Amino acid sequence: MDNYDEYKFLIINKDTNPNISGVVNIKHSYAYGYRCYYLSAPALNSTTNITFAGMYFEGNNPNYVGSFQYKDYKPSPDNVYSFELAYAQAALCQQIEAPSDSATGYEFPRGRSKNLAGSHLFYGLLVMIVILALQ
């Protein structure tokens, strides 16, 4: 949970068997859903061909390639979220904010913008650091 009372979590599949993938079920009563950004690699020890949210770096080019992607999850009627996870993959998930009455896109009184574009790089780096640390 962060300073804004939002739940965020990281799910990591670091199993050494490349045939292991599946679904992680988490029971939580939050009704609006979760948005997950995936970090994927061909293998646990990969140093190339790593993507975050559908984007990757090619060679020495400092600009990312690919289109930004995420997956939204909604709860089942009994409040279970089923998150898909493949081999050598991690998912950084955060709450989808409840609809607001504000046309400005800001939540008051906090004044925090709902535009998360500036924080995706931070999350990507955080996930990569965690993955590398766990190897």
Work out the average pLDDT over 81-92.
92
Please write the tens of the pLDDT for every residue from 3-17: 556 678 888 888 889
Q: What is the pTM of this model?
A: 0.70
The residues near 21 (Cβ < 8 Å, ≥ 6 apart) are: 13, 84, 85, 86, 87, 89
Q: Domains along the chain?
A: 8-134 (2.60.40)
Per-residue pLDDT at 125 exceeds 50: yes
Cα 22 to Cα 37, 87, 123, distances in angstroms? 16, 9, 23
121 or 92, higher pLDDT: 92
Average pLDDT, the chain: 77
